Protein backbone atom coordinates (compact mmCIF):
# COMPACT_ATOMS: atom_id res chain seq x y z
CA UNK A 1 0.00 0.00 0.00
CA UNK A 2 1.34 3.43 -0.91
CA UNK A 3 0.10 6.88 -0.03
CA UNK A 4 0.96 9.45 -2.65
CA UNK A 5 -0.01 12.81 -4.06
CA UNK A 6 -1.91 12.18 -7.28
CA UNK A 7 -3.89 13.88 -10.05
CA UNK A 8 -6.85 12.30 -11.85
CA UNK A 9 -5.94 12.17 -15.55
CA UNK A 10 -8.73 9.98 -16.81
CA UNK A 11 -11.79 8.35 -15.25
CA UNK A 12 -14.51 6.11 -16.55
CA UNK A 13 -17.34 4.06 -15.08
CA UNK A 14 -16.84 0.38 -14.62
CA UNK A 15 -19.72 -2.02 -14.12
CA UNK A 16 -22.56 -0.93 -11.84
CA UNK A 17 -20.81 0.80 -9.02
CA UNK A 18 -17.12 1.28 -9.72
CA UNK A 19 -14.83 3.64 -11.52
CA UNK A 20 -11.45 3.08 -13.09
CA UNK A 21 -9.06 5.99 -12.93
CA UNK A 22 -5.67 6.79 -14.32
CA UNK A 23 -3.63 8.81 -11.89
CA UNK A 24 -0.41 10.77 -12.24
CA UNK A 25 1.14 9.87 -8.91
CA UNK A 26 4.14 11.53 -7.33
CA UNK A 27 5.63 8.23 -6.17
CA UNK A 28 4.87 5.70 -8.91
CA UNK A 29 4.31 7.54 -12.17
CA UNK A 30 1.04 7.04 -14.03
CA UNK A 31 -1.01 4.11 -12.79
CA UNK A 32 -4.46 2.66 -13.40
CA UNK A 33 -6.59 1.80 -10.39
CA UNK A 34 -10.10 0.62 -9.73
CA UNK A 35 -12.16 2.54 -7.19
CA UNK A 36 -14.67 -0.07 -6.06
CA UNK A 37 -18.03 1.35 -5.08
CA UNK A 38 -17.08 4.84 -6.23
CA UNK A 39 -20.48 5.36 -7.84
CA UNK A 40 -22.49 4.37 -4.78
CA UNK A 41 -24.38 7.33 -3.23
CA UNK A 42 -22.34 7.35 -0.04
CA UNK A 43 -19.03 6.36 -1.57
CA UNK A 44 -15.94 7.23 0.44
CA UNK A 45 -14.52 8.71 -2.76
CA UNK A 46 -17.21 11.42 -2.85
CA UNK A 47 -16.67 13.78 -5.76
CA UNK A 48 -12.92 13.35 -5.46
CA UNK A 49 -12.43 11.35 -8.62
CA UNK A 50 -13.40 14.12 -11.01
CA UNK A 51 -11.04 14.87 -13.84
CA UNK A 52 -7.94 16.95 -13.01
CA UNK A 53 -8.54 16.81 -9.25
CA UNK A 54 -5.45 16.69 -7.02
CA UNK A 55 -5.42 14.71 -3.82
CA UNK A 56 -3.77 12.05 -1.73
CA UNK A 57 -4.29 8.56 -3.07
CA UNK A 58 -4.05 5.38 -1.05
CA UNK A 59 -3.23 2.63 -3.50
CA UNK A 60 -2.81 -1.11 -3.07
CA UNK A 61 -0.23 -1.90 -5.74
CA UNK A 62 -0.58 -5.34 -7.24
CA UNK A 63 2.52 -7.15 -8.35
CA UNK A 64 0.77 -8.85 -11.23
CA UNK A 65 -1.17 -6.88 -13.79
CA UNK A 66 -1.48 -3.16 -14.41
CA UNK A 67 -4.74 -2.49 -12.60
CA UNK A 68 -4.22 -1.58 -8.97
CA UNK A 69 -6.81 -0.91 -6.26
CA UNK A 70 -7.60 2.59 -5.10
CA UNK A 71 -8.33 2.24 -1.39
CA UNK A 72 -8.94 5.93 -0.82
CA UNK A 73 -8.64 9.35 -2.38
CA UNK A 74 -8.59 12.47 -0.27
CA UNK A 75 -9.21 15.34 -2.70
CA UNK A 76 -7.31 18.48 -1.85
CA UNK A 77 -7.99 20.57 -4.95
CA UNK A 78 -10.74 20.19 -7.53
CA UNK A 79 -10.20 22.33 -10.60
CA UNK A 80 -13.72 23.35 -11.69
CA UNK A 81 -12.36 26.34 -13.65
CA UNK A 82 -10.96 23.92 -16.23
CA UNK A 83 -14.46 22.76 -17.15
CA UNK A 84 -15.81 26.28 -17.44
CA UNK A 85 -14.11 27.02 -20.74
CA UNK A 86 -13.69 24.74 -23.72
CA UNK A 87 -10.23 26.17 -24.35
CA UNK A 88 -9.08 25.46 -20.81
CA UNK A 89 -10.58 22.00 -20.83
CA UNK A 90 -9.03 21.12 -24.19
CA UNK A 91 -5.65 22.37 -23.03
CA UNK A 92 -5.82 20.43 -19.77
CA UNK A 93 -6.77 17.28 -21.69
CA UNK A 94 -3.77 17.76 -24.01
CA UNK A 95 -1.44 18.13 -21.02
CA UNK A 96 -2.95 15.04 -19.40
CA UNK A 97 -2.44 13.11 -22.63
CA UNK A 98 1.27 13.93 -22.63
CA UNK A 99 1.56 12.50 -19.11
CA UNK A 100 -0.52 9.44 -19.98
CA UNK A 101 1.61 8.61 -22.99
CA UNK A 102 4.90 8.93 -21.12
CA UNK A 103 3.37 7.46 -18.00
CA UNK A 104 5.81 4.88 -16.80
CA UNK A 105 8.71 7.31 -16.97
CA UNK A 106 6.88 9.90 -14.93
CA UNK A 107 8.53 11.24 -11.79
CA UNK A 108 7.71 13.50 -8.89
CA UNK A 109 8.86 16.40 -11.06
CA UNK A 110 6.34 15.48 -13.75
CA UNK A 111 3.53 15.37 -11.21
CA UNK A 112 4.51 18.76 -9.83
CA UNK A 113 4.89 20.38 -13.27
CA UNK A 114 1.48 19.00 -14.27
CA UNK A 115 -0.13 20.27 -11.08
CA UNK A 116 1.30 23.76 -11.52
CA UNK A 117 0.38 23.75 -15.21
CA UNK A 118 -3.25 22.81 -14.53
CA UNK A 119 -3.48 25.57 -11.93
CA UNK A 120 -2.05 28.05 -14.39
CA UNK A 121 -4.43 27.03 -17.17
CA UNK A 122 -7.37 27.26 -14.76
CA UNK A 123 -6.38 30.82 -13.88
CA UNK A 124 -5.86 31.92 -17.50
CA UNK A 125 -8.24 33.85 -19.68
CA UNK A 126 -8.86 32.05 -22.99
CA UNK A 127 -6.26 33.99 -25.04
CA UNK A 128 -3.56 33.15 -22.47
CA UNK A 129 -4.32 29.43 -22.32
CA UNK A 130 -2.00 28.31 -25.18
CA UNK A 131 1.11 29.91 -23.65
CA UNK A 132 0.34 28.54 -20.18
CA UNK A 133 -0.18 25.07 -21.63
CA UNK A 134 2.90 25.09 -23.85
CA UNK A 135 5.07 26.29 -20.97
CA UNK A 136 3.78 23.50 -18.74
CA UNK A 137 4.18 20.86 -21.45
CA UNK A 138 7.80 21.80 -22.14
CA UNK A 139 8.52 21.67 -18.41
CA UNK A 140 7.02 18.20 -18.30
CA UNK A 141 9.21 17.24 -21.27
CA UNK A 142 12.21 18.51 -19.31
CA UNK A 143 11.19 16.52 -16.24
CA UNK A 144 10.84 13.43 -18.42
CA UNK A 145 14.50 13.86 -19.26
CA UNK A 146 14.55 14.80 -22.91
CA UNK A 147 14.74 18.55 -22.95
CA UNK A 148 15.78 19.78 -26.41
CA UNK A 149 19.07 21.57 -27.02
CA UNK A 150 18.18 25.26 -27.27
CA UNK A 151 21.19 27.28 -26.20
CA UNK A 152 23.78 25.35 -28.17
CA UNK A 153 23.69 23.47 -31.47
CA UNK A 154 22.49 19.88 -31.01
CA UNK A 155 25.08 18.70 -33.55
CA UNK A 156 28.30 20.75 -33.12
CA UNK A 157 27.53 22.00 -29.58
CA UNK A 158 28.48 25.54 -30.51
CA UNK A 159 26.87 28.07 -28.19
CA UNK A 160 24.10 29.99 -29.98
CA UNK A 161 23.75 33.76 -29.83
CA UNK A 162 20.41 35.01 -28.45
CA UNK A 163 19.53 36.61 -31.82
CA UNK A 164 20.50 33.63 -33.95
CA UNK A 165 17.81 32.09 -36.18
CA UNK A 166 18.31 28.33 -36.39
CA UNK A 167 16.64 25.11 -37.49
CA UNK A 168 14.86 22.78 -35.10
CA UNK A 169 15.55 19.12 -35.74
CA UNK A 170 13.34 16.77 -33.75
CA UNK A 171 15.53 13.82 -34.57
CA UNK A 172 18.76 15.60 -33.65
CA UNK A 173 17.23 16.73 -30.38
CA UNK A 174 16.83 20.45 -30.81
CA UNK A 175 18.37 23.57 -32.31
CA UNK A 176 20.79 23.16 -35.21
CA UNK A 177 23.04 26.08 -36.18
CA UNK A 178 23.46 27.65 -39.60
CA UNK A 179 26.71 25.77 -40.22
CA UNK A 180 25.09 22.40 -39.55
CA UNK A 181 21.75 23.01 -41.26
CA UNK A 182 22.66 21.05 -44.38
CA UNK A 183 22.85 17.95 -42.15
CA UNK A 184 19.16 18.25 -41.25
CA UNK A 185 17.31 18.77 -44.53
CA UNK A 186 13.64 19.56 -44.05
CA UNK A 187 14.03 20.68 -40.45
CA UNK A 188 11.76 23.54 -39.46
CA UNK A 189 13.17 26.99 -39.04
CA UNK A 190 13.17 28.24 -35.47
CA UNK A 191 13.37 32.04 -35.21
CA UNK A 192 15.49 33.44 -32.39
CA UNK A 193 12.41 34.85 -30.64
CA UNK A 194 10.70 31.44 -30.55
CA UNK A 195 13.88 29.80 -29.26
CA UNK A 196 14.22 32.37 -26.47
CA UNK A 197 10.57 31.75 -25.54
CA UNK A 198 11.25 28.01 -25.27
CA UNK A 199 14.31 28.64 -23.09
CA UNK A 200 12.25 30.89 -20.82
CA UNK A 201 9.37 28.42 -20.56
CA UNK A 202 11.69 25.59 -19.65
CA UNK A 203 13.30 27.80 -17.02
CA UNK A 204 9.90 28.35 -15.43
CA UNK A 205 8.99 31.80 -16.77
CA UNK A 206 5.45 32.45 -17.92
CA UNK A 207 6.23 34.16 -21.22
CA UNK A 208 3.02 35.14 -23.04
CA UNK A 209 2.42 34.68 -26.75
CA UNK A 210 1.14 37.68 -28.62
CA UNK A 211 -0.72 36.22 -31.56
CA UNK A 212 -2.51 33.11 -32.70
CA UNK A 213 -0.13 32.16 -35.55
CA UNK A 214 2.79 32.11 -33.11
CA UNK A 215 0.79 29.93 -30.72
CA UNK A 216 -0.10 27.53 -33.54
CA UNK A 217 3.54 27.27 -34.64
CA UNK A 218 4.54 26.44 -31.06
CA UNK A 219 1.77 23.85 -30.75
CA UNK A 220 2.91 22.16 -33.95
CA UNK A 221 6.56 22.18 -32.89
CA UNK A 222 5.72 20.58 -29.56
CA UNK A 223 3.45 17.93 -31.10
CA UNK A 224 6.08 16.94 -33.65
CA UNK A 225 8.68 16.76 -30.89
CA UNK A 226 6.44 14.49 -28.79
CA UNK A 227 5.69 12.26 -31.77
CA UNK A 228 9.38 11.93 -32.56
CA UNK A 229 10.38 11.13 -29.01
CA UNK A 230 7.56 8.75 -28.30
CA UNK A 231 8.26 7.02 -31.56
CA UNK A 232 5.38 4.56 -31.36
CA UNK A 233 3.54 6.00 -34.36
CA UNK A 234 0.36 6.71 -32.41
CA UNK A 235 -1.34 10.06 -32.73
CA UNK A 236 -2.09 12.48 -29.90
CA UNK A 237 -5.87 12.89 -30.33
CA UNK A 238 -6.45 15.18 -27.36
CA UNK A 239 -3.49 17.33 -28.34
CA UNK A 240 -4.75 17.60 -31.91
CA UNK A 241 -8.25 18.53 -30.72
CA UNK A 242 -6.65 21.24 -28.62
CA UNK A 243 -4.77 22.56 -31.65
CA UNK A 244 -8.01 22.73 -33.63
CA UNK A 245 -9.70 24.74 -30.85
CA UNK A 246 -7.22 27.53 -31.35
CA UNK A 247 -7.06 27.46 -35.12
Nearer to Zn ion, 131 or 149 (CB): 149
Piece of the chain touching Zn ion by CB under 5 A; list 67-75, 125-133, 145-153, 164-172: 145-153
Burial 42-78 (b: 16+ CB within 10 A, else e): ebebeebbbbbbbbebbbeeeeeeeebebbebebeeb
Nearer to Zn ion, 113 or 175 (CB): 175
In the complex, the smallest distance separating the C-beta of residue 181 from Zn ion, rounded to whole angstroms, is 8
Piece of the chain touching Zn ion by CB under 5 A; list 76-84, 142-150, 154-162, 238-246: 154-162
Q: Under the criterion CB under 5 A, does residue 149 sit at the interface with Zn ion? A: no
Cα(130)–Cα(121) distance, rounded to whole angstroms?
Answer: 8
Q: Please name which of 148, 137, 143, 144 lies closest in space to residue 195, comparing C-alpha atoms.
A: 148
User: In degrees, to the nearest 5, what angle opens at C-alpha 87 toward C-alphas 19 and 51?
Assistant: 15
Q: Under the criterion CB under 5 A, does residue 155 sit at the interface with Zn ion? A: yes
Question: Binding to Zn ion (CB under 5 A): which residues in 170-209?
Answer: 177, 180
Q: Under the criterion CB under 5 A, does residue 160 sit at the interface with Zn ion? A: no
Cα 132 to Cα 8, 59, 109, 138, 139, distances in angstroms: 20, 31, 17, 10, 11
Pick the binder of Zn ion from 86, 123, 156, 230 (CB under 5 A): 156
Pick the binder of Zn ion from 93, 153, 160, 175 (CB under 5 A): 153
Give the interface with Zn ion as residue ranges (CB under 5 A): 153, 155-156, 177, 180
Amino acid sequence: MIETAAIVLHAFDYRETSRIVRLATRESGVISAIAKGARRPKSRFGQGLDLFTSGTALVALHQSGDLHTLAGFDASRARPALAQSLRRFGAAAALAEVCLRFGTEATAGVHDALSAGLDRIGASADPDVPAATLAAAWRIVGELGFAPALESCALCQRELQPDEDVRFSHRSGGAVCHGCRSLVPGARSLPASARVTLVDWMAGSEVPLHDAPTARAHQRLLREFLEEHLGDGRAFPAFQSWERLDS
